Amino acid sequence: MSNDNDGGFSSGFIIGGIMGLIGGLIFAPRPGDETRAILTEASNDWRDKAKDLTDFAKERIIDATNEGKRVAESLREELEEN
């Protein structure tokens, strides 16, 4: 059994960050220009984090696919020998 829970942790991390950002904006009012600058910076940060997470997921899928192909080939060879 695998203990991988990267998806759950990542989802919780992203949701928690968004909630923290919203709470900070609601309870610490700033001038409009400053708030827009903060939102722009935060959205750029989240976009970068989402890209990193997507790249990580793609790598994991490629690795799992390659491992599956390796196992299938090994089983095929074993069956041909018998």
68 pLDDT more than 80 = yes
pLDDT tens, 2-40?
455 556 777 788 888 888 877 777 777 777 788 788 888
In a domain, 75, yes or no: yes
* Residue of 56, 74, 77, 54 lying closest to 66 (CA atoms): 74
How many residues can be counted in the chain? 82
Contacts of 14 (CB under 8 A, 6+ apart): 46, 49, 50, 53
List all residues 6 or more positions away from 56 whose beta carbon is below 8 Å from its beta carbon.
6
CA atoms within 13 Å, Cβ hemisphere of 15: 6
Residue 54 falls inside a structural domain: yes
**pLDDT at residue 13, as a whole number:** 82
Q: Which domain holds residue 47?
A: 6-81
Out of 28-32, 49-53, 68-72, 77-81, which region has the weakest mean confidence (pLDDT)? 28-32
Q: Which pair of structure tokens corresponds to residue 24?
A: 């900070």
> How many structural domains comprise the chain?
1
Tell me, yes or no, whether 1 lies in a domain.
Answer: no
